[in-house]
Chain A
């Protein structure tokens, strides 16, 4: 089983990101589970959501305390200790930031893949919604699920022009991300 935690701020689509990732896994025949760390509705507040992906049915309903990977939708959250809490040694972080991957890896002590998802989404989607870009990067790095699966999962939620732009963004990001860089890590922590 692989466990992933997504950190963002209310309004950035952290919960949708978790649901989309789990849906992708389910649609390609895996077992998956996604849920938010629940809280009251409000924009801007830190929110976390959890994803589990496995080859067998997932029965536990507790939160993810020791994720194998983190997806960070808002870089200011990297300054909060609870964001990185429990991340497994060597666990990769995909972060929405303009900063440099290597510099962040050195600071945080974990492999970091940085991408300016806000800028990319603003350019391609017309609004700052970083989750699609981050998911595309995550799947390209880990080879955990086919990127085509991500596209299908999005097609269940979006239509028309919005969908087309999201698909375009996925292609852009996938092309610019080192494929399979974290593949070993992803399969090592998979059960």
Chain B
């Protein structure tokens, strides 16, 4: 049913439809409305789950872990500092191969302190061993959240659903929420093969000596690579169930003859779509990377075959190195016969608004010398005469 919903509200309702038994809640801007909406559903008797209001994100992830191991579908959400604080647990969850779904309401990382949107937080934990999916808009946030539970439970891998904080979470727009029947048919009851059960006791989280560690890590790596199929299968089944086309790995929008491509993750994609219509110019393929882990190497190569230039516009930066997404994209494409020249930029760091005008600026930048990685929306007039440490008052 088509409803006017705020992103967070829709995500909360999507989670509720998946019938979680345990939800761990710790508030952090801009995820707060998700946990608040879930609390409201519980208070109104509409969601029968154990809502555990924990004392920190470290505990939020730990509560979710404990619940999932003890046999209940569990969920939590966080952002930014919270993701970092729980990062130890995130690695632990993934290494233990526990199915969980977590919404990351993408937000910049301190210092400097920022409450606004960029993707530094989820990028910071890209090696934790979670599946990482990125939503281009709020309808994807709803659809992908529901798929995430199935993917997690089939792969026995945790899934992080990344949704741009504020930009998507606090935006109200028309969204379709599926019925409980459709979700119930798509998502069977939670079953974890290695659950903690007195009738079949096992030990989880044991000490693993060098004799066995490599194989364990190898299996985890393989599982993530194989998860690609599950991500695609879930998307196909969900598309059939809800009637909406899904684009799980790489969404490609643009004429096949285009030799210029622009790749991004998250809400900026929609802005680029409108900008291309508004500004015209040379044919451009717009690509959205909906799955970052596992990295969709084949799908990306297929999408980029024939491109001479690929602009990678990302929402995070690895200080002192190339762009995070940019480096991985370059690496994936280098084995093409004619790999495109990759132009790597960051934009919208710390929530700076990314206007339609970014599109012509990006196209313009192709023809000019530029660093291997830089912020396309840098305002040089704000830079001081000599370097000041962040946080110092002038």
Contact = CB atoms under 8 A, between A and B. Distances in A.
Complex contact flag A–B (Cβ < 8 Å): yes
Interface of A: 18-19, 22-23, 26-27, 31-36, 38-40, 58-63, 65, 153
Nearest to B29: A40
B126 to A, nearest CB: 23
A86 B271 CA distance: 19
A26 B2 CA distance: 9
Interface stretch (B303-311, B322-330, B331-339, B347-355): B347-355
Contacts of A58: 173
Contacts of B238: none
Contacts of B295: none
B116 interface: yes
A26 B4 contact: yes
Q: Which 10 A-B pairs have the closest CB atoms?
A: A59-B270, A23-B4, A26-B4, A35-B171, A60-B274, A61-B267, A38-B166, A26-B174, A34-B172, A60-B271
B274 A59 contact: yes
18 contacts: A19-B4, A19-B6, A27-B4, A32-B4, A35-B166, A36-B170, A38-B115, A38-B170, A39-B115, A59-B273, A60-B273, A60-B275, A61-B137, A61-B171, A61-B268, A61-B354, A62-B353, A65-B355
A61 B4 contact: no
B171 A62 contact: no
Given A23-B4, A60-B270, A60-B275, A33 B171 contact: yes
A154 B109 CA distance: 37
B30 interface: yes
Binding site secondary structure of chain A: mixed
Given A27-B4, A33-B173, A38-B30, A61 B270 contact: yes
A67 B356 CA distance: 14
> In the complex, which of the residues B164, B167, B173, B268 has the most CB atoms of chain A within 10 Å of its own CB atom?
B173
Contact of A61 (B29, B30, B167, B174): B167
Contacts of B29: 40
Nearest to B30: A38
Nearest to A18: B172
B90 interface: no
Interface in B350-392: 351, 353-356
Contact of B271 (A19, A26, A59): A59
Given A33-B172, A61-B171, A38 B274 contact: no
B274 A19 contact: no
Given A27-B4, A59-B270, A35 B30 contact: no
A22 B294 CA distance: 37
A59 B137 contact: yes
A48 to B, nearest CB: 12
Interface in B266-284: 267-268, 270-271, 273-275
Given A22-B172, A31-B173, 16 more contacts: A19-B4, A19-B6, A22-B4, A32-B173, A32-B174, A38-B115, A39-B115, A59-B270, A59-B271, A60-B270, A61-B171, A61-B270, A61-B354, A62-B355, A62-B356, A63-B355
